[in-house]
Structure 1
């Protein structure tokens, strides 16, 4: 989303996977973190400008708090589990597999907070606009192949998780445990626009950009290829 304030030469041709439960918060019980109200005055590790940063803002708002009620500490996502284990922060807000790594490091001292209804994490296929304009048939062939993959994933969970584990060098047991949190499907729905606009407002409010106007995110979506391959998946209002 932040890149949309800097450049407009790219477009999304489809979502490929989404999750309503990828973003989570993990705290240390020995730092007095037991319920959401305990976050007031605590140090929370995030990756500045990331979905984890945005999620902690939504999480706090949901529970009557604000970002100003906590002290945010910036870390790379891969550093967050160890930062929590080392006591550099009282809690972290991030995504998988870092959440599970943090819980493993803390053991019984970990407490996890889930809020599956406040944020959907989306992953997209993105191309340069010039490429989309000059090679529309290539995009259609690509999405046709991805549609076959979508069907394969839905019908072959055991094989698919094995492939993901091998290709990403992630423990198979971890992949299997995370799998139900993700939905693999080609999609361009209205929620994409709503989410991007909300995130852009948040970024402006929290001075993550020097821009003051929200981009028109319809200009960042190229629906023609998906409409040709899977028309029922395109429900964006234009």
Structure 2
């Protein structure tokens, strides 16, 4: 029997059954994969995942935890995640390497995330004492750039020190074991190293700290609705930290296994808010010039950072949070 010979009522029942079968056996939509760093910088997004803020905004997400923002960004550029949390410096290296992604928002800043920790038993007590010494850094991270700024503003010639690239999975271990004489370490590794070194450790002061900016980036092509929901979830995490610090510290202290008081100490000096401002653009361009000058990247063309900023979702959420003109 052909479809054209069916009675209208029979045809309608047949089509309804076909639609029901298609709905029943449809493959569910894949969750949105978000790579979130484990360190202090990424606290608002850690809270958003832990407290169900993504689900509350209608997002089905899968979270990948990563040791640092550089690793999170690699999950994105390798196609394993659609959204990642990352500080400014790893973005510069990835873009010079030819990867492409959209910068959606900054959600935190601090001049105190990274410290230059040195061993006093190696004769280091001031920045000038770094000459001739080995300084450990994780290549392509905010700690790498911080160490460059530290040397510059304290008048220590770059060619007078030996930079040693260390494995991020080892944390402060190279410094503790004496494989390097000093290290640029972000939290919590920096404070932990000072505590474990005791009188053999010192945090060197700097004249002008570098302010790290931590961001949300996305694969090109995600919908406005998805990014807006993601920003709303991040905003909830920020609000929890800013408006209910006691509860946030308890949650993070349990997550980091350090207790609420130590969590509060780790977060000292951080400012969390959503935004896209001119400082990010200036920082990225300065870091590109540094990476080119130091021979750290093969592609010497500075990316068009302004073009990579996806401003529409944040503008829809809160236009007052933007100072970028695009």
TM-score normalised over the length of structure 2: 0.68
* Counterpart for residue 155 of structure 2: 64
1:214 has 2:302 as partner: yes
Q: Say whether the 8 Å CA contact 2:251–2:260 is kept in structure 1.
A: no
RMSD: 1.7
Distance 1:86 1:149, change over 3 A: closer
User: Matched residues in 1 for 2:237 and 2:109: separation?
Assistant: 15
Residues in 2 aligned to 1:201 and 1:234: alpha-carbon distance in whole angstroms: 25
Compute the displacement of 1:158 (Å): 1.1
Aligned 8 A contact 1:77 1:98 in 2: no
Aligned runs of 1:24-173 on 2, under 5 Å? 24-115=115-206, 117-131=208-222, 135-173=223-261
Q: Which has the higher contact order (CA 8 A, sep 6+)?
A: 1
TM-fit CA distance, 1:113: 1.9
**Following TM superposition, by how much is the alpha carbon of 1:8 offset from its aligned partner in structure 2, in angstroms?**
4.8
Alpha carbons 2:125, 2:204 under 8 Å: kept: no
Residue 172 of structure 2 contacts residue 190 of structure 2 at CA under 8 Å; is this kept in 1? Answer: yes
Separation in 2, partners of 1:62, 1:117? 7
Aligned length: 235
TM-score of the superposition, structure 1-length normalised?
A: 0.92
Distance 1:141 1:50, change over 3 A: closer
8 Å CA contact 1:20–1:117 kept in 2: the answer is no
Deviation at 1:218, TM superposition (A): 0.8
Instruction: Determine the C-alpha separation between the residues in 1 that align with 2:106 and 2:170.
Output: 28
**Which of 1, 5, 15 is matched with 2:106 structurally?**
15
Q: Give the greater-gyration-radius structure (CA).
A: 2
Describe the SS at the equivalent of 2:108.
strand
CA 1:104–1:37: 2 relative to 1, 3 Å: same
CA distance in 1, matches of 2:111, 2:224: 31
- For structure 1, list consecutive stretches of 5 or more residues without a partner in the other structure: none
Cα distance, 1:78 vs structure 2: 4.0
SS at match of 2:103: strand
In the alignment, which residue of structure 2 is the partner of 1:227? 315
Instruction: Tell me, yes or no, if structure 1 residue 175 matches structure 2 residue 263.
Output: yes
**Deviation, structure 1 residue 91:** 0.6
Range moving further from structure 2, 109-118 or 13-22: 109-118
